[in-house]
Amino acid sequence: MVDFSRIESGVAIVRARLLGQVIRQNSSAFPGVRDAIPGLSNLLIQYNPLETSAAELKRAVNAMLPSLDGDDMASSRHWVVPVCYGGDYGPDLDEVAKAKGISADEVITRHAANTLTVAIMGFLPGLGYLKGVDPSLALPRKSTPRQHVPALSVGIAMDQTVIYPLASPGGWNLLGRTPVKLFDPGRDEPVLFRPGDAVSFTPVEAAEFKTLEAAVAAGESIISPLPSGGRS
């Protein structure tokens, strides 16, 4: 396993993804490797010990690492996702504010302030674990999960945000909801996010949310990624 946990989380995620791509695309340089799987801050390399060894892989990986410079982050996309916070859309917003000793408006401000990174994809199609939430908002999952979380709910736990692409049970603290479909089998690319993408949130009022929701229902695309390298 290659550990990137000592560097900034967004960079670590992108580096793990890029190294995995390099290994998979250059199989001749990595004999015996069966797969390379990016994690939150590491890359799991699966290999056949009859064909190579951990020591040999370590030497090959260390030789490859210097080529993964910061410019490679420009290949990631940046999505700006509208979110309606609080009320029926974010039933845990006031509870989170109380737990943190700040106002609900301040929770919204802090949640929307950071650009997050899609670390890995999760247990539902289109669900990405977004790393980089403001540390002041860190909370555990709810002690008793909900049996039903509405589709497109935005929740936080630990230093992460998730958007539930489909209705499902879940234990994350729900702050709001987005009209953006993360999974649509009718699209050329059914899953919106990819590991390494940047995501930031922009608050919208309920009236604008309903307008955007209607546009999505009519088949319109309401967001598109910023130009390559547009991380801010």
- Kindly report, residue by residue over 119-138, the tens digit of the pLDDT: 888 889 999 999 999 999 99
In a domain, 226, yes or no: no
CATH number at residue 84: 2.40.100.10
Q: Is residue 231 part of a domain?
A: no
pLDDT > 70? residue 70: no
Question: pLDDT tens across 132-174, in order?
Answer: 999 999 999 999 999 999 999 999 999 999 999 999 999 999 9
Is 41 within 8 Å of 4 (Cβ atoms)? yes
Q: Are residues 28 and 117 in the same domain?
A: no
Answer yes or no: do 119 and 131 share one domain: yes
Extract the tokens encoding 23: 């290994």
Overall number of domains in the chain: 2
Q: Are 50 and 147 in contact (CB under 8 A)?
A: no
In a domain, 223, yes or no: no
Residue 222 included in any domain: no
Amino acid at 99: A
Q: Smallest Cα–Cα separation from 129: which of 89, 149, 159?
A: 159
pTM: 0.79
